Amino acid sequence: MENKLSNKKVAILVADGFEEVEFTKPLEALKNAGAEVDVVSLHDGEVKAWAEKDWGNSYPVTLTVSDANAKDYDALVLPGGVMNPDHLRENQEAVNFVSGFFDDSKPIAAICHGPWTLIETGELKGRRVTSYPSLKTDLVNAGANWVDEEVVVDNGLVTSRNPLAGKWWKRLEKVFTPEQACKKESGQYRRDSSLLLPTFYYFWKEPALIY
């Protein structure tokens, strides 16, 4: 595979109990595309996955969220799993880290239960999103426009109902181009063709950031 991301750095933010496949697939694909990927978590050492019905493997943590800065990254991935976002949204440092990507208009991909953490940033008002169905009420109460669709793209924010069903990996999803780039201004997002922001594409084996 062409190293399209050889000079890009992506953060995957997880806490214990993240859904394993929602972590391993993006991690593998991003690395295969040449990206530098940091696994950011609430504690150092290792973070433990949940594999559908039981605990899965443990994975090394690159750095803790207290040492991480959104300005050091080009994009953020938020895997799901029920326990994982519940831990993250209760941690103010994790919420601040995610907020930094919104502040700088950087791409965020949130899978399944992943959007739960986004609620705490206060940045979902008016944004079009999807998620695992049980999150609908919480997201609507946060001001989001929740839709029952496979994958939703809204100004650099990609949300998925489910990582496997709905062709999350097989379907080509264009998040935004420079002509559709968004810039946060006075609490709103406006189009700004001067911003050379990334474009996210998702495949079964190849999510890529195209610049």
Catalogue the active-site residues. 112-113
- From residue 22, how far is each of 89, 111, 114, 191, 204 by CA, in Å? 18, 7, 10, 30, 12
Name the 3-class secondary structure at 161.
Answer: coil
129 phi and psi angles, rounded to 5 deg: -140, 165
* Residue 30, H or E segment: helix 20-32
Q: With contact defined as beta carbons under 8 Å apart, do 135 and 141 qualify?
A: no
Tokens 């839709």, residue located: 147
Amino acid, res. 87: H
159 phi and psi angles, rounded to 5 deg: -125, 145
Q: Count the Cβ atoms, other than its own, within 10 Å of residue 139.
A: 21
Tell me the pairing of strands 151-154 and 157-160.
antiparallel
Tokens (6 digits) for 163: 């990582």
DSSP string, 127-186: -EE---GGGHHHHHHTT-EE---SEEEETTEEEES-SSTT-TTTS------GGG-EEEET
